[in-house]
Amino acid sequence: MKNEIKIVQCTETELKNLINESVNQALSISKESTFQQPEKLLTRQETCEILSINKTTLWRWTKEGKIPSHNIGNRVYYKLSEIQGSLTKSL
């Protein structure tokens, strides 16, 4: 679609409504793309509680590659979506 300039007669109220609709549409698109919820990161303790296992088992499963982990500094985290995906696989 080309950017064409059109001169259209409308009332002040109609113009305000058009501007309002355009701004609201742009804001809703912006919110959807900007404010997506970040991935939920779990601590080792939270992961153990979800899986009903102890930390030794979690460590072993992580070392065996059954559950992916993510290091941030000297801390270890697990993504909730990856834990849920691991549950569908055979541990």
pLDDT 10s digits, 20-59: 888 888 877 766 665 566 788 999 999 999 999 999 999 9
**Residues 82, 62: Cα–Cα separation, whole Å:** 12
Q: Are residues 74 and 49 in the same domain?
A: yes
Residue 33 lies in a domain: yes
Q: How many domains does the chain have?
A: 2
> Measured between alpha carbons, how far is residue 21 from residues 27, 71, 76, 80 in Å?
10, 45, 46, 38
pTM as predicted: 0.56
45 shares its domain with 33: no
29 domain residue, yes or no: yes
Residue 2 within a domain: no
Identify the residue with better confidence: 34 or 17: 17
Predicted local distance difference test score (pLDDT) of residue 39: 83
- Provide the residue range defining the domain that includes 47: 41-88
Domain assignment present for 3: no
Shared domain for 25 and 52, answered yes or no, is: no
pLDDT classification of 19: cutoffs 50, 70, 90 = confident
Inform me whether the pLDDT recorded for 82 exceeds 60: yes
CB-based burial label for 58 (10 Å; 0-12, 13-18, 19+): buried
- CB–CB of 66/27 below 8 Å? no
| pLDDT digit string, tens, across residues 58-80 | 999 999 999 999 999 999 999 99
* 32 shares its domain with 53: no
Residue 52 belongs to a domain = yes
Q: What is the pLDDT of residue 31?
A: 64
Residues 50 and 72 in one domain: yes
**What pLDDT is recorded for position 35?**
57
